[in-house]
Amino acid sequence: MSGTETISQARPVESFQSLEDRRVEFPVLNQKVHGCDLVYFDNAATTQKPRRVIDALTYYYEHDNANVHRGIHELSNRASSAYENTRVRAAKFLNARSADEIIFTRGTTEGINLVAQSWGGKFIKAGDKILLTEMEHHSNIVPWQLLAARTGAQLVYLPVTGDRGLLDLSRIDEWLTRDIKLFAMTHISNTLGTVNPVTELCAKARKLGVTTLVDAAQSAGHRKVDVQEIGCDFLVLSSHKMCGPTGVGILYGRLDVLEQTPPYQGGGDMISSVDFFNSTWNKVPHKFEAGTPNIADVIAFGTALDYLDEVGREKIAEHDIELSAYCYAQLAKLPGVRLFGPETGRAGLVSFLLKDVHAHDVVMMADQAGVALRGGHHCNQPLMRKLGVESTARASFYFYNTTAEVDRLIEVLREIQRFFGTV
């Protein structure tokens, strides 16, 4: 029997009147920082973990710890089946056709590097074009730059228009053409909060024979992500941005594409037979998982997926939209504020600047008042340059955040403006 099944001591769903009531399930949220109640608004960097995910980790190490796919003893059987159950669970979560389409990685970054090295290494040739957007995270730029340098391929960027931060889709046909080999795009921008129409973009790409990769790092824990509906060839995400532990991610790949893709790293588990000079590869997905995987964190990630489905991804999405719309409207009332990203339809985050107060000072002072923000370039330097700023401050939300916390943020920001004498 797999240990993880026995530990869900979830409170009955009915006892949570609203999403925000679920705060009590997150031990870390219940603390004071610099003497003030913690307001955690850095969820785009990483989300907090509910008690039962933390418990799943402990439970695994206390009861089931063993290596996977190797031993034939009881503990190894438990560990292997809990690990593989998470694969099945993840396939269901993303509506993949098969669990074989789910590859465990260290996170979004590793997923993209895997595709760039293995798929790209085989299919991208000198002169080929790779289409990205101007709002990609560094992790969806640099692996392609490395591939381009190695192969002589060329990178092309779909432009972002103005502070409103939308892709310039009126001219999509100029950029997305038959010349493009791969189109890699983010679902949700971690700086602008823009939600890109990935389903339409992938449909267009498919008609032209262009392979697609969707970066779902900011979306997978916040709304329904259905790989069949989106129709992408690859999709990547990180467990730690969706209530799960760090050090785990998923690369989803369409089975026929994965089968044509050569292995990533060499080692144990990824082979079916090895002699001194040659090896044959294990089948998909094991071909891409060399060495002892991150067993405990993968298993606890499975618990996080169950948890998110219990909370309800549609509800999370609604809550994001409401809270970020509220925050955007409240921020807009501050004198000298500059807001980035779309006015409506934004995901659960807002980037902003206060006139004459640098983002670094804003974030540090907010921290003194217990409010955790992020300041900086958000791993989006090319986009920041285009917007003509070096950094912004960002508040990013999850379902446990409240409008009262947004009010607290606004109060703190007004106080910062008074401190610097800018109002």
Partner 1 sequence: MFDDLNDLYQQVILDHSKSPRNFFKLEVANRVAEGRNPLCGDQVTVYSLVENEVVREISWQGSGCAISKASASIMTDALKGKTAEQAKELFRNFHDLITTGSSDSKDLNKLAAFGGVNKYPARVKCAILPWHAALATLDGKANIVSTE
What are the residues binding partner 1 (CB under 8 A)? Answer: 34, 356-361, 364-365, 368-369, 375-377, 381, 384, 390-391, 412, 415-416, 419-421
Residue 139 binds ligand PLP, judged by CB under 6 A: yes
Task: Give me the least distance between CB of 85 and ligand PLP, in Å please.
Answer: 23
Q: What is the total count of residues that contact ligand PLP (CB under 6 A)? A: 14
Task: Give me the least distance between CB of 123 and partner 1, in Å please.
Answer: 33
Q: Which is nearer to partner 1, 204 or 414 (CB)?
A: 414
The site partner of 384 among ligand PLP, partner 1, none (C-beta below 5 to 8 Å per kind) is: partner 1
The site partner of 218 among ligand PLP, partner 1, none (C-beta below 5 to 8 Å per kind) is: ligand PLP
Strands of 154-158's sheet in order across: 102-105, 249-253, 234-238, 211-215, 180-186, 129-133, 154-158
Q: Which is nearer to partner 1, 68 or 406 (CB)?
A: 406
Task: Give me the least distance between CB of 139 and ligand PLP, in Å please.
Answer: 4
Residue 108 binds ligand PLP, judged by CB under 6 A: yes
The site partner of 137 among ligand PLP, partner 1, none (C-beta below 5 to 8 Å per kind) is: ligand PLP
Determine how many CB atoms are found less than 10 A away from the CB of residue 388: 7
Task: Give me the least distance between CB of 366 and partner 1, in Å please.
Answer: 10
Q: Which is nearer to partner 1, 57 or 337 (CB)?
A: 337
Task: Give me the least distance between CB of 373 and partner 1, in Å please.
Answer: 13
Q: Is 36 a catalytic residue?
A: no
Using only C-alpha atoms, the chain has a radius of gyration, in whole angstroms, of: 22
Residue 186 binds ligand PLP, judged by CB under 6 A: yes
Task: Give me the least distance between CB of 186 and ligand PLP, in Å please.
Answer: 5
Q: Segment near ligand PLP (CB under 6 A), from 87-95, 104-112, 279-287, 309-317?
A: 104-112
- Residue from 2, 117, 133, 190 in contact with ligand PLP (CB under 6 A): 190
Q: Which is nearer to ligand PLP, 80 or 351 (CB)?
A: 351
Q: Which is nearer to ligand PLP, 108 or 282 (CB)?
A: 108
Q: Which is nearer to partner 1, 247 or 376 (CB)?
A: 376
Site for ligand PLP in 200-239 (CB under 6 A): 215, 217-218, 238
Q: Which is nearer to partner 1, 143 or 370 (CB)?
A: 370
Residue 265 phi, psi dihedral angles, 5° rounding: -110, 155
User: Which residues here bind ligand PLP, judged by CB under 6 A?
Assistant: 44, 107-109, 137, 139-140, 186, 190, 215, 217-218, 238, 379
- Catalytic annotation, residues: 379
